Amino acid sequence: MKTSSEGIAIIKKFEGCRLTSYQDQAGVWTIGYGTTTAAGLGPVTKGQCITQEQADEWLITSLVKYENTVRGGCTVSPSQNQFDAMVSLCYNIGQPAFLRSSVLRKHNAKDFKGAAESFVLWNKAGGIANRGLTRRRIFEEALYARSNVSISEPVPTQSAVIVQPARPSLWQRLFRKA
């Protein structure tokens, strides 16, 4: 199983693309679609610049590593949406964290509801809850939990609700009109 084109679109949407390196909220040098040195494509350093083509290529190349981690970690075969959601999570939090996550543990125990609800636990950067990561996790939760989620629609914003999450009160708090 590979990440679908819609799964790649989710990662691109949430990661955003920056062609000049920057330090993320945890202080890690990052470039392109959230590519770090941990992706295994070489060091990401201060002042580094890449082209849009390189950013796209690096994302696709680095996804193989995260797809392999998700496939290797799953003892229960995931649906395409479950796989895409878990690859998005793994790409964002890293392989070691994904492999010890309650998302994977509950998925393998066939506790799919519990696995979906565990995505939001991974909403911190540098130990601090982050609104953007919380939005991403809620979207991943909804994608994982529902086979009919459309991920080709725009990412939920404060003024639009695209999908219904497992915990509407959290969703409503995050996406109410300002």
Nearest to 12 by CA among 42, 57, 50: 57
Residue 82 in tokens: 């479950």
Residue 144 in tokens: 């994982």
Domains of the chain and any CATH numbers: 5-175 (1.10.530.40)
- Work out the percent of the chain whose per-residue pLDDT is above 90: 65
Specify the 3-state DSSP secondary structure of 103.
helix
Quick check: 33 and 175 in contact, CB under 8 A? no
Provide the pLDDT for residue 157.
Answer: 39
**pLDDT of 120 over the 90 cut:** yes
- Cβ within 8 Å of residue 149, ≥6 positions away: 81, 142, 143, 163
| pLDDT classification of 8: cutoffs 50, 70, 90 | very high
pTM of structure: 0.79
What value does the mean pLDDT take over residues 1-13?
92
| pLDDT classification of 49: cutoffs 50, 70, 90 | very high
Which of 6, 15, 57, 141 is the catalytic position?
A: 15
Which of 6, 24, 111, 140 is the catalytic position?
A: 24
Mean of all residue pLDDT scores within the chain: 84
Angle (nearest 5°) at CA 114 between 82 and 1: 15
- The Cα 146–Cα 165 span in angstroms is 9
24 among known catalytic residues: yes
86-108 pLDDT, tens digit each: 999 999 899 999 999 999 999 99
What value does the mean pLDDT take over residues 69-96?
95
What value does the mean pLDDT take over residues 37-54?
92
125-161 pLDDT, tens digit each: 778 888 989 999 999 999 998 755 444 444 443 333 3
Q: Which of 12-16, 17-21, 152-156 has the lowest mean pLDDT?
A: 152-156
Burial class (CB in 10 A: 0-12, 13-18, 19+), 60: exposed
- The Cα 104–Cα 76 span in angstroms is 10
